Amino acid sequence: MVDLKSMTLEELTAWVKEQGEPAFRARQIFKWIYRGVTSFSEMTDLSKSLREKLEQQAFLTEPKVARKQESKLDGTIKYLWELSDGNCIETVLMRYKHGNTVCISCQVGCRMGCAFCASTLAGKVRDLTPAEMIDQVLFTQLDSGVEISNIVLMGIGEPLDNFDTVMTFLKLVNHPDGLNIGMRHISLSTCGLVEQIDKLAQYGLQLTLSVSLHAPDDETRSKLMPVNRSVGVEKLMDTCRRYFQTTGRRISYEYAMIDGVNDSDAQAELLAQRLKGAPGHVNLIPLNDVEESPLKPSRRVAAFQKRLESHGLTVTVRRKLGGDIDASCGQLRRKAMRGTQ
């Protein structure tokens, strides 16, 4: 059986032709997919014989809502989706003034092992398919009735560790007959896989790259993020500078503020130095408490911000949404896995 939703329009066209059908059928099918149909019988402008052929040879993915939580504070909605093989992933819908944003997952679990992150506690189970990534946008939109204008790849998983799938996903999102969302409305967050960042730069996409930095010194960063042990902050920052030179796109540096770990004045000074010549802005994230972790939120966010700003850096502090619904990465999936809610 063929997973039609994971195909680009070009791939779908080639497949349709292989079936002995005219090429224009591919665009018809493609359009139906992005209207969110879940069966071929709904594709009413196809011939009956083609619909039957599709039913025999192909399938359309359809995740089930395993859990849905809606914040009373700010309307944030969190979905726990059950995939066809029983695995679960999370998607969060956030309402901002500048548009409705969906935060999606790219893997079932994660193998990066960051100390503060709930998504990685049980490791990676598998990569998602392009269809399973598309579904998170499509079915969030259909279920909530909210039109989505922005996508952030900041849910469960490491996007650059599922590189080809994410590239296909971006094509499908961007396509006028697909989700039709512009690259400038998309952010991709990485823990800092340098080779893949260089590879991504070659595509010259207009998306926003977020780099999860979280510490300016190797000792702290390697403790928090195992990925740093083989790369180091200096090499990562060199890669970020190259990314900017190649794409002209400023990077957003994510920095989760952790009490007594990465929030000292000396670390703010070092961070400011590190960011010289690497144009971008710093996004300070008040740490979300993860039950299994001893790390606690910093109480020095404002002071840290001031010190960075004194060096002329642009610094924002991420507003916390959905605080009443376990809306940060991996938390709902963890609860479901433990069977505690």
Residues involved in catalysis? 90, 329
Site string for ligand SAH, 287-306 (x = CB under 6 A): xx-x----------------
Q: Does 327 bind ligand SAH (CB under 6 A)?
A: no
Strands (DSSP E) found in 30-119: 58-59, 64-70, 77-82, 88-96, 99-103, 107-109
> Which of 21, 127, 135, 158 contacts ligand SAH by CB under 6 A?
158
Work out how close the CB of 38 gets to ligand SAH at its nearest, in angstroms, rounded to a whole number.
28
Is position 165 an interface residue for ligand SAH (rule: CB under 6 A)?
Answer: no
Distance linking the first and last C-alpha atoms of the chain: 36
Q: Which of 256, 282, 308, 332 binds ligand SAH (CB under 6 A)?
A: 256
- Residue 39 neighbours by CB under 8 Å, 6+ apart: 60
Tell me, what amino acid is at 99? G
Q: Contact with ligand SAH (CB under 6 A): which of 6, 101, 189, 228?
A: 189
The C-alpha atoms of residue 211 and residue 197 are separated, in whole angstroms, by: 10
Using DSSP's 3-state secondary structure scheme, residue 77 falls into strand
Q: Is 207 in the site for ligand SAH (CB under 6 A)?
A: no
Q: Which residues of 193-226 are buried (b: 16+ CB within 10 A; e: fewer)?
A: bbebbeebbeeebebbbbbbbbbbbeebbbebbb
> Quick check: 191 binds ligand SAH (CB under 6 A)?
yes
6 binds ligand SAH (CB under 6 A): no
Establish if 91 lies at the interface with ligand SAH (CB under 6 A): no
Q: Closest separation between CB of residue 209 and ligand SAH, Å?
A: 10
Q: Is the dihedral of CA 255, 261, 263, 266 positive or negative?
A: negative
**Does position 117 bind ligand SAH by CB under 6 A?**
yes
262 binds ligand SAH (CB under 6 A): no
| Residue count of the chain | 341
Q: Which residues bind ligand SAH (CB under 6 A)?
A: 114, 116-117, 154, 158, 189-191, 212, 254, 256, 285, 287-288, 290, 328-329
